[in-house]
């Protein structure tokens, strides 16, 4: 039996925009997702927009009972910035009541809340001014963070500033999956820098307003593996690591932007606008913990063509199709649980063995109803195997001293996912869209209950 550390967090993660519903009511203002759906519904899988999602706004009390039923002892969700502060300044009291009761109910049921401030949901009023492209976003986020700490700090002790900041940078400014869906590497870097500063000043606000509790950031640390030992492939791996791992991990944990990254940006005319106090602020506002979302690794090789100055990340590194890879046939992503161990050791050796947890890991499955038995239960043995394999490698890293304090799956109840709508299902509970979002536990939920009860498997 693989046993995990005492008080290990067994839980799931989700976000406000993907679960709450009521996205244009109850005092909430629009986010980029609401607006984008209004403008271009055809971009969204099956024309499913963010307005309903799984209706947690009304269902949270029952959902928290369901969490308990399958052994979750912790849960991460986010606050919707546009719900709490619809115009960025005035507090929406209905939102305060909702979130206070949501977090209090979790505590009453023995479920430790981890609360995130930003999960890709930029308020529209701020996007109209340029969103993270403008420095104003840093101040606006500081005010939002401070307000949230003051309003909910008595209930929430573990806070997160951002979920996967690289995603809104890359998907919004390079790959077209998030609004404003433009391609502009220079803007992407500036957006990244403002996001980093928004994080840093939010940490400062936390230290100013709250004495106990912890604050962290959740990163999609995608481990990279080079195609070969050749100098060019290794160089590509180094650049990929700088841009997609160290760009946030180093400043957040070590307090510095890697010199090599600053040089790379300078050489390519990509240096962002930095204010004089920014570097000092970075060095002073370190996180207490890190969350790592891990789904699949990245296989990198040297770029086949290099433009200088670079105008796209493929000028630094390219991904390639690793011939030996195992694929999740229901979502297309590579399955490589070994990376869990590599991440655990990296956190131990390169980041001072800072406390960290797996903040998302999971297996997306399209058309999951094909695995339903006569009783209506989804028999998702593939998901149980997926979790077991990842936990085995995680356990090995913990045994070697990595300071990991929990494992959260994505996700608890099947949820809406950006342009993919409800296509890929990840939940421990199936959501029936045709039947008023009714929840039915899957086999993996029952397995997770045993896992959590035994603190291992
Ligand atoms: C992570 C995000 C989540 C969620 C998950 C699954 O990167 O933090 O918000 O969407 O990925 O991704 P998908 O739904 O695209 O399969």
pLDDT tens sequence across 183-226: 999 999 999 999 999 999 999 999 999 778 999 999 999 999 99
pLDDT digits (tens, 9 = 90+) for 302-311: 999 889 999 9
Instruction: Find out whether the peptide bond into 309 is cis, omega within 30 degrees of 0.
Output: yes
* 333 domain residue, yes or no: yes
β-strand partners of 413: 429
**Active site annotation includes 164:** yes
3-state secondary structure of 138: helix
* 4 domain residue, yes or no: no
Percent helix, strand and coil across the chain, each to the nearest 5 = 45, 15, 40
* 414 domain residue, yes or no: yes
Strand pairing report for 404-410 and 9-13: parallel
Q: Determine how many CB atoms are found less than 10 A away from the CB of residue 316.
A: 21
Rounded to whole angstroms, how far apart are CA atoms 279 and 262?
12
- Using 70 as the pLDDT threshold, list the residues of the chain that sit under it: none
pLDDT value of residue 379: 98
* 230 domain residue, yes or no: yes
* 264 domain residue, yes or no: yes
Tokens of 194: 């403002």
Q: Is 424 in the pocket of ligand 1 (CB under 6 A)?
A: yes
Contact indicator for 158, 114 with CB cutoff of 8 Å: yes
Q: Please, is 352 exposed, middle or buried when counting C-beta atoms within 10 Å of its C-beta (0-12, 13-18, 19+)? A: exposed
* 1 domain residue, yes or no: no
Dist. CA 239 → ligand 1 center (Å): 24
Which has the closest alpha carbon to 23: 57, 46, 48, 61?
A: 57
Closest approach atom of ligand 1 to CA 362: 6
User: In sequence order, what are the residues at sequence separation of 6 or more whose Cβ sits closer than 8 angstroms to the Cβ of residue 152?
Assistant: 79, 99, 100, 103, 115
The ipTM assigned to this model is 0.96
Q: Is 409 in the pocket of ligand 1 (CB under 6 A)?
A: no
Tokens of 35: 């607006």
User: In sequence order, what are the residues at sequence separation of 6 or more whose Cβ sits closer than 8 angstroms to the Cβ of residue 313?
Assistant: 174, 185, 243
Dist. CA 361 → ligand 1 center (Å): 10
Rounded to whole angstroms, how far apart are CA atoms 25 and 58?
12
Distances, alpha carbon 364 to alpha carbons 17, 292, 375, 412, 434, in Å: 18, 18, 22, 12, 20
Rounded to whole angstroms, how far apart are CA atoms 269 and 307?
12
0.90 surpassed by pTM: yes
Which has the closest alpha carbon to 120: 81, 69, 88, 152?
A: 81
**Radius of gyration from C-alpha coordinates of the chain:** 21
Number of structural domains the chain divides into: 1
Nearest CA to ligand 1 atom 14: 417
| Mutation to probe ligand 1, out of 178, 417, 427 (largest number of atoms < 8 A from CB) | 417
Alpha helices per DSSP H over 85-230: 93-108, 124-127, 136-152, 165-173, 185-209
pLDDT value of residue 212: 87
Dist. CA 417 → ligand 1 center (Å): 6
Q: What CATH number is given to the structural domain containing 16? A: 3.20.20.80
Which has the closest alpha carbon to 52: 91, 97, 17?
A: 17
Instruction: Find out whether the peptide bond into 180 is cis, omega within 30 degrees of 0.
Output: yes
Which has the closest alpha carbon to 205: 138, 265, 129, 299?
A: 138
Strand pairing report for 365-366 and 424-425: antiparallel
Q: Is 296 in the pocket of ligand 1 (CB under 6 A)?
A: no
Q: Is 364 in the pocket of ligand 1 (CB under 6 A)?
A: yes
Contact indicator for 90, 51 with CB cutoff of 8 Å: no
Closest approach atom of ligand 1 to CA 120: 9
Distances, alpha carbon 131 to alpha carbons 122, 167, 190, 299, in Å: 7, 15, 11, 32
Helix 443-454, helix 381-399: angle, nearest 10 = 20
Rounded to whole angstroms, how far apart are CA atoms 158 and 150?
14
Tokens 């590194």, residue? 317
pLDDT value of residue 163: 98
**Active site annotation includes 58:** no
Q: Is 410 in the pocket of ligand 1 (CB under 6 A)?
A: yes
Contact indicator for 263, 277 with CB cutoff of 8 Å: no
* 340 domain residue, yes or no: yes
Q: Whole domain around residue 158: which residue ranges?
A: 9-454
* 20 domain residue, yes or no: yes
Dist. CA 263 → ligand 1 center (Å): 32
Q: Kindly write down the DSSP assignment for every residue of 64-75, as one continuous string.
A: HHHHHHTT--EE
Tokens of 380: 């998702």
Contact indicator for 378, 371 with CB cutoff of 8 Å: yes
Q: Is 121 in the pocket of ligand 1 (CB under 6 A)?
A: no
> Which of 133, 164, 170, 368 is flagged as catalytic?
164
Strand pairing report for 298-301 and 289-293: unpaired
């Amino acid at each position: 039996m693989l046993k995990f550390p005492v008080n290990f967090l067994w839980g799931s993660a989700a976000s406000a925009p993907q679960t709450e519903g009521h996205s244009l009511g109850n005092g909430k203002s629009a986010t980029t997702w609401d607006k984008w759906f209004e403008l271009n519904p055809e971009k969204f899988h099956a024309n499913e927009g963010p307005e309903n999602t799984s209706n947690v706004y009304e269902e949270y009390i029952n959902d928290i009972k369901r969490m308990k039923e399958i052994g979750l002892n912790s849960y991460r969700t986010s606050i919707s910035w546009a719900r709490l502060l619809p115009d960025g300044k005035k507090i929406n009291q209905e939102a305060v009541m909702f979130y206070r009761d949501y977090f209090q109910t979790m505590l009453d049921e023995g479920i430790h809340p981890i609360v995130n401030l930003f999960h890709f949901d930029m308020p529209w009023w701020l996007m109209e001014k340029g969103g993270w492209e403008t420095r104003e976003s840093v101040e606006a986020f500081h005010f939002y963070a401070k307000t949230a700490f003051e309003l909910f700090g008595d209930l929430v002790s573990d806070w997160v500033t951002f979920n996967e900041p690289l995603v809104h940078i890359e998907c919004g400014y390079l790959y077209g999956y998030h609004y404003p869906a433009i391609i502009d590497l220079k803007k992407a870097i500036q957006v990244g820098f403002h996001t980093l500063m928004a994080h840093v000043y939010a940490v400062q606000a936390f230290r100013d307003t709250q004495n106990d509790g912890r604050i962290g950031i959740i990163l999609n640390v995608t481990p990279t593996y080079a195609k070969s030992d050749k100098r060019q492939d290794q160089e590509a791996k180094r650049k990929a690591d700088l841009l997609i791992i160290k760009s946030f991990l180093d400043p957040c944990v070590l307090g510095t932007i890697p010199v090599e990254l600053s040089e790379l940006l300078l050489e390519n005319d990509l240096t962002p606008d930095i204010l004089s106090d920014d570097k000092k602020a970075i060095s002073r506002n370190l996180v207490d913990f890190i969350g790592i979302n891990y789904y699949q690794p990245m296989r990198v090789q040297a770029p086949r063509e290099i433009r200088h100055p670079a105008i796209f990340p493929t000028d630094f590194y390219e991904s390639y199709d690793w011939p030996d890879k195992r694929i999740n046939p229901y979502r297309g992503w590579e399955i490589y649980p070994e990376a869990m161990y590599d991440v655990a050791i990296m956190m131990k050796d390169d980041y001072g063995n800072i406390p960290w947890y797996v903040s998302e890991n999971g297996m997306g499955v399209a058309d999951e109803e094909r695995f339903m038995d006569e009783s209506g239960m989804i028999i998702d043995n593939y998901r149980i195997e997926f979790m077991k394999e990842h936990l085995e490698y995680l356990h090995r890293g913990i045994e070697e001293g990595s300071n990991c304090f929990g494992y959260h799956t994505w996700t608890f109840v099947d949820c809406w996912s950006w342009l993919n709508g409800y296509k890929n299902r990840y939940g421990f509970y199936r959501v029936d869209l045709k039947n008023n979002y009714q929840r039915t536990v899957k086999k993996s939920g029952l397995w997770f209950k045993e896992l959590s009860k035994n603190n291992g498997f």
